Amino acid sequence: MLPRPDGPQGRLIVALDTPTLAQAEALAGPVAPEAGLLKLGLELFCAEGPPALARLRGLAPVFLDVKLHDIPNTVAGAIGALAALGPAMITIHAAGGPAMIAAARKAAEAAGAARPMILAVTVLTSLDAATLRAIGVEADPVNQVIRLARMALEAGADGLVCSPREVGPIRAALGEGPRLVVPGIRPAGSALGDQARVATPEEAVRDGADWIVVGRPVTGAADPAAAARAIVASLPR
């Protein structure tokens, strides 16, 4: 299983949210030396499939962000198939419940010592309190994240995906043990896009993020490699 990063560069995950592998590789080549991992998300994985993971793995470890959410048996089968492709991390939805999470962990362990981390997504960074109420969740985002986080870890998740706003509360409630991968990162002055709960890279790491996920501020920059280096340079040592 992937160890915690031992320096600022290892903390950066660059999100390659592109529709084609050619576009992803054009970005990955310059930014891979500046980052700890590359994120392969749903759009690219659905478009290009396992070959995309294989190609990106040749450049850096891959965070496979597919957010699986189904019955336990189906998720276990999917994790087994994906683990064989060699990603360093795979995401599932914490809302799938304890049995689903436990099944995912068991399937990952079958891959042996190099198994992927199973990361439970708590509350998507695009959701705010009003949106949670619209889907029947009365808890505010922080309390809902902590509830899901505790349940997911008890069920066997290796770590969590949460917004920057919940990093501090998770650390306060659950300690230093959980590994935290944090999207919704926007360097000062960047556009928010479709993110509702954000922070700067420095804020997220100071609060206790292990890894930060940055997409458009790097991939949309005139010089993506320089943008990645600037983010790494801004992180606390």
The domain segmentation of the chain, as residue ranges, is 8-234
65 membership: H or E segment, kind and range: strand 62-68
pLDDT in the model for residue 210: 97
Kindly calculate the radius of gyration of the chain based on its CA atoms and give it in whole angstroms: 17
Tell me what the pLDDT averaged over the chain comes to.
Answer: 93
Active site residues: 67
pLDDT at 189: 55
Helix (H, G, I), strand (E, B) or coil at 39: strand
For the residues 145-155, what does the mean pLDDT come to?
98
Beta strand ranges found along 98-158 (DSSP E): 117-121
Residue 195 has pLDDT above 80, yes or no: no
* 140 — pLDDT class (breaks 50, 70, 90): very high
- Close Cβ partners of 130 (under 8 Å, ≥ 6 residues apart): none
pTM metric for this prediction: 0.93
Q: Does domain 8-234 have CATH number 3.40.50.720?
A: no
For residue 167, how many other CB atoms are within 10 A of its CB?
24
